Amino acid sequence: MKLVTAVIKPFKLDEVRKALEAFGVNGMTVTEASGYGRQKGHTEVYRGAEYTVDLVPKVRLEVLIDDLDVDQVLGVIAEAARTGKIGDGKIWVTPAEAVIRVRTGETGPDAL
Amino acid sequence: MKLVTAVIKPFKLDEVRKALEAFGVNGMTVTEASGYGRQKGHTEVYRGAEYTVDLVPKVRLEVLIDDLDVDQVLGVIAEAARTGKIGDGKIWVTPAEAVIRVRTGETGPDAL
Amino acid sequence: MKLVTAVIKPFKLDEVRKALEAFGVNGMTVTEASGYGRQKGHTEVYRGAEYTVDLVPKVRLEVLIDDLDVDQVLGVIAEAARTGKIGDGKIWVTPAEAVIRVRTGETGPDAL
Ligand SMILES: Nc1ncnc2c1ncn2[C@@H]1O[C@H](COP(=O)(O)OP(=O)(O)OP(=O)(O)O)[C@@H](O)[C@H]1O
Ligand SMILES: Nc1ncnc2c1ncn2[C@@H]1O[C@H](COP(=O)(O)OP(=O)(O)OP(=O)(O)O)[C@@H](O)[C@H]1O
Ligand SMILES: Nc1ncnc2c1ncn2[C@@H]1O[C@H](COP(=O)(O)OP(=O)(O)OP(=O)(O)O)[C@@H](O)[C@H]1O
Ligand SMILES: [Mg+2]
Ligand SMILES: [Mg+2]
Ligand SMILES: [Mg+2]
User: What ipTM was assigned to the predicted interfaces of this complex?
Assistant: 0.94
CB contact under 8 A, C94 and B96: yes
Q: Is the CB of B99 under 6 A from ligand 3?
A: no
- The pLDDT tens digits for B15-62 are 999 899 889 999 999 999 999 999 877 666 555 554 444 789 999 999
- Please name which of C11, C2, A8, C33 lies closest in space to residue B94, comparing C-alpha atoms: C2
- The pLDDT tens digits for B59-111 are 999 999 999 999 999 999 999 999 999 999 999 999 999 999 999 999 999 99
CATH value of B2-111 in 2.60.120.10, 3.30.70.120, 3.40.50.2300, 3.40.50.460: 3.30.70.120
CB contact under 8 A, A93 and C97: yes
| Domain chopping of chain A, boundaries | 2-111
Strands B28-36 and A28-36 come out as antiparallel
Query: Minimum mean pLDDT among A45-49, A106-110, B77-81: which range?
Result: A45-49
Residue type, B32: E
Q: What is the mean pLDDT of each run of 10 residues along chain C (112 residues)?
A: 98 94 94 92 60 78 98 98 97 98 97 96
**3-state class (DSSP) for residue A39:** coil
Give the whole-angstrom CA distance, residue C55 versus residue B32.
13
Q: How confident is the model at residue A75 (pLDDT cuts 50, 70, 90)?
A: very high
- Please name which of C73, C70, C100 lies closest in space to residue C17, comparing C-alpha atoms: C73
Nearest-atom number in ligand 3 for the CA of B26 is: 1
Query: How many residues can be counted in chain C?
Result: 112
- pLDDT value, residue B8: 98
Q: Which of A4, A5, A7 to probe ligand 1 with, by most ligand atoms within 8 A of CB?
A: A7
Query: Minimum mean pLDDT among A36-50, A63-77, B14-28, C56-70: which range?
Result: A36-50
- Angle, helices B13-23/B70-81, rounded to nearest 10 degrees: 150
Residue A26 Cα to ligand 2 midpoint, Å, equals 7
Containing A57, the helix (H) or strand (E) segment is strand A56-65
Interface probe with C: pick from A34, A45, A93, most Cβ of C within 10 Å:
A93
Containing A95, the helix (H) or strand (E) segment is strand A89-95
Q: Is B95 on the interface with C (CB under 8 A)?
A: yes
